[in-house]
Structure 1
Amino acid sequence: MTTPQDGSRHGVLQHAAAASPSAEATGQSSVVDKYLIPRAFTVRMSEHESVRAYEVGPPDVPVVIGIHGTPSSGVNETFKYVATSPVFCRLVTFDRQGYGGSTPRPGRKVSDIAPIVEAVLNHLSLDVAAVYGVSGGGPHALAAAALLPDRISRVASLGGIGPNFGPGFDYMDGQIPLARQEMLAARSDPDALREFYRRYIVTMEVPDVEKEWFSQNDLRVSRFMREVMAPVKKKIEQQLSLHEAEFSQEDAYVDDFQSFASPWGFELGSIKVPVRFFHGLADIMVPPRHSEWLQSQISNAGLELFPNIGHTLSQIMSHVFAWLVGETSCRGLRRVTS
């Protein structure tokens, strides 16, 4: 459920800055300063647990919450927003438990994402927001919609995975060999997952391993990211003053896949808000039938399939954002002023 670090519009920070007078020349903030420089903040969950979160975009537009994949971080979702510049919405995202700067919770369930989403909304004094999840974040976005029906307006799953087992669905059916091994390890024990992580996840960008996970288009996007967009991503990380991850990504990955192999902790059929599944037809990591089956379990769900696109869906992010805020307005936001 890993994605190469992705983006789609090169040089967006440089182009935006070039198109606007400098802040020094005008006495006002540039478009980049206003809309495309993210900020990081901490949401306290308890005395011993906290979540590191990020936001980017205009302050007076509908909010979308983004949930990253496995393994990844909220920074990658922030980067995709900057790269595609959908400034008709504001993105709020966070590091899931154990990733980046968020406190681990061993033994967590997919459904444990709901209190985090709720705490982020409360921290920002927001009544409601749309939510999306990428790959392994897909089930988490669905959990938020199922368990927070009054706080989530719409939900999208992008290349999201199906459950370990479901009526008429077997996770293993049609999977590439590495994805089958991954779930078999998750069904076995943590040590098997750790061995898989060390052999096949940390080496994902090694050419011989990379081509076993990703479609040709995914590989093109990955090369584009490494060769063209890397300076933009580095600049964002500098703006956020991020350092090395505070916790073990390996541990977070193990926790993730054990939660995927277990019951998710909510019923898909309980989701009543509008749902849409987005999936690339060339996705070899998570076959499109995952989204097709998930759609069949939710009464108010739609499905969009994209030819030539694989597991990396950065090329359609503006389209996804536009659907997520399609029927929301600024009047739906509540803000508290000091």
Structure 2
Amino acid sequence: MAKKFVNLQNGDRLAYQVYGGGKHTLVLFHGQLVSSWLEGSWRRAIDEADVRCIVFERPGYGDSSVMNITRVGDWIPLFQEAVRQLELHSFDVVGISAGGPYAYATAVGFPELVGRVWLLGGVPAVFRKEIFSLYPPKFQKGYLRLEDQPLSETQEYFENKLAEMKKGLRGEPGGYYENSLNDVSANRCIGPAREGRLHAIPWGFDPFSITQPVTLYYAKGDAMVPYEAAAQMARMLPNAKLITFVESQFRPGVNIHFSSINKGFFSLLKEYPKKPE
């Protein structure tokens, strides 16, 4: 795979990768500690479906410029140029974990283009007290700390975290895991470092004004996105369906957050026709 770029008028750029060549376009927003690289089983599933999947690297990740992002809604004018250059006329969006808010932003910003919205363990609107109050106290303290903590300190935290993850890296050199971690580490980890604070402050648009159908996949027992908060998000959206996974559906000892994302992705692909022979 080779990355491609949307070149912005001010000299910045957005990196992205395209998987599959099907009729139905998906724009996918990655999680906090990954980037535009997709794991092999996901690539194979996309190839079997009649789908073209475009994965953008958000500002600060990988080969995308850092840019001055102060709220999630700043993504909307950036994506306008991507729509023009990639000639996107009709597509669905997928928000994974920390990429969830950007899926909402794209749906709200481009209602005439986005058909369906899929959330896979996506971060809900934690800036709303009805949702934030359903997070455990330690999560609440973490979000509040991010709002005041110097960004450089958060970057240092992620740099140390990524260094430890790279020590335990298994898999082929230059493969999905190594490429992803290198992209997350880019620009002194500014991409993941500022995501938490962007989630916790008002997003700069109203996610509850969304008109498209939204399908949310979440798991009970998820240690990263509390199910109760996700369920409240679903109740507050005007046209939402919540699909719930329970702990008995997963192997003992697995990370429920990531396992439910996998299960949700393969499930949503079944909503699209198979690629013609």
TM-score by length of 1: 0.68
TM superposition shift of 1:39? 4.0
TM superposition shift of 1:195? 4.9
TM superposition shift of 1:83? 4.7
Q: Are the aligned partners of 1:110 and 1:259 in contact in 2 as well (CA < 8 Å)?
A: yes
> Looking at CA atoms only, which structure, 1 or 2, has the larger radius of gyration?
1
Count of aligned pairs: 263
Q: Name the amino acid aligned to 2:266.
A: S
C-alpha distance after superposition, 1:210-237 (max 9, x if no partner) = xxxxxxxxxxxxxxxx65xx33x84569
The separation in 1 between residues aligned to 2:230 and 2:201, in whole angstroms, is 19
Distance 1:267 1:64, change over 3 A: same
Q: Are 1:318 and 2:266 an aligned pair?
A: yes
User: Percent identical across equivalent pairs?
Assistant: 21
Output aligned runs, 1:289-328, within 5 Å. Answer: 289-308=228-247, 309=250, 310-312=256-258, 313-323=261-271, 325=272
Gaps of 5+ in 1: 1-37, 208-225, 331-338
TM superposition shift of 1:80? 5.5
Q: Which moved more, 1:261-270 or 1:141-150?
A: 261-270
| 1:113 alignment partner in structure 2 | 75
- Aligned pair partner of 1:49 in 3, 6, 12: 12
Give 3-state SS (helix, strand or coil) of 1:248's partner. Answer: helix
The separation in 1 between residues aligned to 2:134 and 2:240, in whole angstroms, is 24
Distance 1:189 1:143, change over 3 A: same
Q: Are 1:125 and 2:87 an aligned pair?
A: yes
TM superposition shift of 1:198? 4.6
TM-score by length of 2: 0.81
- Aligned pair partner of 1:73 in 25, 30, 35: 35
Distance 1:204 1:159, change over 3 A: farther
Distance 1:196 1:277, change over 3 A: same
Give 3-state SS (helix, strand or coil) of 1:74's partner. Answer: coil
Deviating runs (4+, > 6 A) in structure 1? none
Distance 1:101 1:205, change over 3 A: closer
TM superposition shift of 1:155? 0.7
Q: Are 1:182 and 2:121 an aligned pair?
A: no
Distance 1:78 1:120, change over 3 A: farther
C-alpha distance after superposition, 1:33-74 (max 9, x if no partner) = xxxxx442111122321011110112x410101001113211
